[in-house]
Structure 1
């Protein structure tokens, strides 16, 4: 009886120690699990901003050449030519003052280029640069180079149409810088040199009747 007492006491102490160890292990595991479950998720990195394209500056709005009148001579000095520009359109008149003439019209590009045509097949190819229009005009199968400088009134292009003494009359005049005039008057389709007009008023007398030649615009 004396020997079994200490053994029982020792066994009881071991059992108690094992129980305590078991409880500590369980408590630690639950605490760790709880701590892990309640931790907030790691913050995600903000998305990198997408590269933006550089904004393009707006293109300047093209503007047509300014309204103006031009007049000059062909390179061989055999004829005169006048060009009138209004709102991006042009009308031109080629005239040798005797029997060859042509009225042409068309558009003017923003860079000053122009291609004008007529009902009789004539064609003008020119360029406005600085204070003049230069290029070539093909009339009746013959090509003429020309330069027409910018003018101010009364220089410029004039025209008069009427019925005079039973005849259809159509007159065209180019008043060059300096006052010289070149024109053709057609009566029922027959051309001849035109009488001079009064540049200030456009007045002209045709076969005894007074007409008014007016500035030509497209």
Structure 2
């Protein structure tokens, strides 16, 4: 039997190694070409690494992008009317006295007065055509108002009165004075109706007194011998 020389064996091994090395260098290009041609499936992507403190798994693809908010709906006329603040003054005579309501930018003040012994101040809101006011001793006034009339119900002490009063323009309206005069707390109110008739009362440290008529031009009056200057009541409600 003929023996192969060691030199031949070594040379043969080197030749085989060279072939394998060549194939190894060509393999990535070969697989890329085959993958591009659609003959070899792409390897699965590595799983998304978890973010510490953000849950037990990767963020789902559909939640990674927040969709833009839908455009807001334009409010209709009814919605705007329900939120619209009222501004206006209403005054008129009732059976037990006179009532005036003054509103500005949705805040309202009302005064019920008979000029003798009944008076009550109430404050609250006038929004969306609705009146909702409260006063001392559980007094309440609820109702509706528009550019022509205010109507509803007022409860003061043992009085429970339905009312309908008309809108008025200056110098008619409701006027108020509230301040300290010579150390005493003085609060006065004057209702001036559409025909110019006035009714009013005042308190000095809580005691009822009869004030003079209000000069509607300079808004001055006398309370307990002291001259005071009143302001439109809607301004004091702000």
* Conservation of the 8 A alpha-carbon contact between 2:106 and 2:127: yes
Are residue 58 (structure 1) and residue 86 (structure 2) matched?
no
Q: Tell me, in whole angstroms, the C-alpha distance in 2 between the residues paired with 1:188 and 1:150.
A: 32
Q: Is the 8 A contact 1:99 1:192 kept in 2?
A: no
1:197 aligns with 2:214: yes
In 1, the alpha carbon distance for the partners of 2:201 and 2:213 equals: 10
Aligned residue number for residue 144 of structure 1: 161
3-state DSSP of counterpart to 1:108: strand
Question: Which of residues 109, 113, 119 is equivalent to 1:101?
Answer: 119
What's the offset of the Cα at 1:105? Answer: 1.4
Give the CA deviation at 1:158.
0.7
Q: How far is the alpha carbon of 1:212 from its aligned partner?
A: 0.6
- Indicate the SS of the match to 2:136: coil
Pair 1:212 & 2:232 matched: no
Matched, 1:69 2:89: yes
How many residue pairs get matched? 161
CA distance in 2, matches of 1:189, 1:81: 21
| 2-structure distance, mates of 1:99, 1:82 | 17
Deviation, 1:106, is 1.4
The Cα offsets for residues 73-119 of structure 1, whole Å up to 9 and x where unpaired, read as 22x2x211111111122111111111111111112231x12221113
Structure 2 CA distance for partners of 1:207 and 1:58, relative to 1, 3 Å? closer
Residue in structure 1 matching 2:133, options 107, 112, 116 = 116
- Write the mapping of 1:29-44 to structure 2, written as runs, cut at 5 A: none
Question: CA-to-partner distance for each residue in 1:112-154, whole Å, 9 max, x for gaps?
Answer: 1222111321001111144010111000021012122111111
CA displacement at 1:166 relative to structure 2? 4.6
Provide structure 1 residue ranges, at least 5 long, that are not aligned to the other structure: 1-54
Give the greater-gyration-radius structure (CA): 1
Kept in 2: contact 1:128–1:134 (CA 8 A): yes
Report the CA distance shift for 1:177/1:188 in structure 2 as closer, same or farther (over 3 A): same
Q: Unaligned stretches of 5+ in structure 2?
A: 1-70
What's the RMSD between the two structures over aligned residues? 2.1
Contact 1:73–1:147 at 8 Å: present in 2 too? no
Change (3 A) 1:69 1:130: closer
